[in-house]
Each structure stands twice: as structure tokens, then as C-alpha cells.
Amino acid sequence: MANRVLPRHLGIIMDGNGRWAKKRGLPRSAGHVAGARVFKAVVRYCSKIGIEYLTVYAFSTENWKRPHDEVLTLMNLFKEYLRDALTNFLDENVKVRFLGDTSVFDPQLKELIAEIERVSENRTGMILNIALNYGGRAEIVRAVRLLAQDVADGSIRPGDIDESTLSARMYTAGQPDPDLIIRPSGENRISNFMLWQSAYTEYVVMDILWPDFRPQNLERALEIYAARSRRFGGI
Ligand code: IPE
Ligand code: IPE
Ligand code: MG
């Protein structure tokens, strides 16, 4: 597909693992394991087709409400993924960043996060943002606090604050806003994902559970995106 309009920045809300497992009479953890496999395949595919920025929603600030054993499964899967990425994907040119408050994680996970950010720092290919303990509201609150501190320090005046000063204090500072956000699992909601950045993002909700998501589903979403008319308030 030559010359198609590709989003520069693609967001994915990886949703539906639990329902996928339930349908099969499996524990929710099995859905997360299957979802993690799909995540790996989708990252590779996006990097191959030339997506510049991919942001995946992996764990929200609200997901701590889940039963302890499910949270533990997810934390272990994140560790497994990062260990795997550190040993097996050294040849891939993907730069990994994390969006969210990662300071609360256990030392092992924090170390893996720091390590993958360090080893991938100078890579020049796709930027992969993994939203982990991420909430759009928490991100805005954090940005406002950073700005308030700058005002208190006298380095910025309240009247000089504009959209770009706030954008520069988001986790995505320096990156373009997402052009397209895909939500599988059929839920028509944003669930606290990239609230600030998605003012003019195109949404594609798909009736497929994340563990069933394949490159052809991504291609379908990209086709829908390419056919959209984005006006940004103009005509
Ligand atoms: C997404 O799948 C994974 C996370 C939120 C971590 P869910 O676990 O939300 O799956 P459903 O929505 O219950 O099916
Ligand atoms: C959004 O999914 C968060 C992630 C995919 C990480 P949820 O399953 O947590 O969202 P709700 O609860 O259906 O809104
Ligand atoms: Mg869900």
C-alpha cells in the first residue's frame, strides 16, 4: 500500500484480555499472557511499516483496583517482557520510553525499566511509549505541579503559560500528539488515556478482543483512519 496516509503517532488501548480468557473458561491471567504475545507482534509490525511513535496502554492508575493476584500476574508479565526485550531484541531499532509514575514499582521492575530506557536511548527507529501506571488526569496534575514549581521559582510568569508550556511537561514532551487511537474490545470510552494529547485524535473502536488482534486488524484500522477527513476545527 504505497502513499497511504499513515498516522505518525498511533495509540493502542490493549483491552479485552479478561473477556478473551473467560470465553475460553481460562483464568484472566491466561488472557494477559496471550495479550502480551500480541503486544510483541504488534510492536514489530508497527516498526516494520514505518509508524514513528507507538503508545500502548498497558496498566492504568485505576488498574490497581483489581485483585492482588491479577496485578501480580501483570507485574510479572511486564518483567518478563522487559527481560526478553533486553536479551532478544537487541538488534531492533526501537527506542523504549515509559509514560506514567513508575516510581511505585518494585525495585526489580524499576531496574528493568531503567535498563531498557538506557540501552535503547540512542536508537533511531520507532519510539515505543509504554503507558504503565499511567492516567491522563494524573499526568495533567503532574504537569501543573511542575509548572507551579517553575512559577514559585520565578523561572516562568503565569501570563507566559500557554498550551505548549503545558505540553512540554507531559510525559510525551517533544512528541507529536497521537493521530489515531485504536481501542479493541468494543468499549466506546477513553478510560483516562492521553486526555491532553488526544484533543484531535481519530478514534477507531474495534469489536475484537486484544489477544485476537492481528496485523490485518491493524491494517483495517489504518485504512479507516486514512479515509477520515481531519479538519481540526477548520473547513
Ligand atoms: C486489558 O484487558 C489489560 C489491562 C487492563 C491491564 P482487561 O484485563 O481489561 O480485559 P477485560 O476488559 O476485562 O476483558
Ligand atoms: C484500560 O482498560 C486500561 C488498559 C488497557 C491498560 P480497562 O479495562 O482498565 O478500562 P475500563 O475499566 O474498561 O474502562
Ligand atoms: Mg478492560
Residues near 91 by beta carbon (within 8 Å), at least 6 away in sequence: none
**Closest ligand to 31 CA?**
1
pLDDT for residue 2: 52
The answer to whether residue 39 is domain-embedded is yes
Residues near 176 by beta carbon (within 8 Å), at least 6 away in sequence: 8, 9, 52, 53
The answer to whether residue 235 is domain-embedded is no
Q: H helices within 50-191, ranges in order?
A: 68-88, 107-120, 136-153, 163-167
The answer to whether residue 71 is domain-embedded is yes
Collapse the DSSP code of 98 into the 3-class scheme (helix H, G, I; strand E, B; otherwise coil) and give the result.
Answer: strand
Q: H helices within the chain, ranges in order?
A: 17-23, 28-49, 68-88, 107-120, 136-153, 163-167, 215-226
Cα torsion at 28, 206, 84, 61 (round to 10°)?
-70
Taking the C-alpha atoms of residue 121 and residue 139, their distance in angstroms, rounded to an integer, is: 22
Total domains in the fold of the chain: 1
CATH code assigned at 46: 3.40.1180.10
The answer to whether residue 86 is domain-embedded is yes
pLDDT, one tens digit for every residue, the chain (235 residues): 556 899 999 999 999 999 999 999 999 999 999 999 999 999 999 999 999 999 999 999 999 999 999 999 999 999 999 999 998 776 689 999 999 999 999 999 999 999 999 999 999 999 999 999 999 999 999 999 999 999 999 999 999 999 999 999 999 999 999 999 999 999 999 999 999 999 999 999 999 999 999 999 999 999 999 999 999 999 9
Neighbouring residues of the ion ligand 3, judged by CB less than 5 Å: 15
Active site residue 63: yes
Structural contact between residues 113 and 131, judged by C-beta atoms closer than 8 angstroms: no
Residue 17 CA to ligand 1 center (angstroms) comes to 5
Residue 36 CA to ligand 1 center (angstroms) comes to 12
Domain of residue 104 covers 9-226
The answer to whether residue 2 is domain-embedded is no
Active site residue 153: no
Taking the C-alpha atoms of residue 121 and residue 118, their distance in angstroms, rounded to an integer, is: 5
**Is the CB of 230 inside a 6 Å radius of any atom of ligand 2?**
no
pLDDT for residue 205: 98
Which pTM does this prediction carry? Answer: 0.97
The answer to whether residue 232 is domain-embedded is no
The answer to whether residue 1 is domain-embedded is no
Say which amino acid occupies 60: S
The answer to whether residue 3 is domain-embedded is no
Reading the block at residue 170, the C-alpha cell is 507531559
Residues near 37 by beta carbon (within 8 Å), at least 6 away in sequence: 211
Which one of the listed residues 3, 63, 93, 177 is annotated catalytic? 63
**Is the CB of 17 inside a 6 Å radius of any atom of ligand 2?**
no
Residue 15 CA to ligand 1 center (angstroms) comes to 5
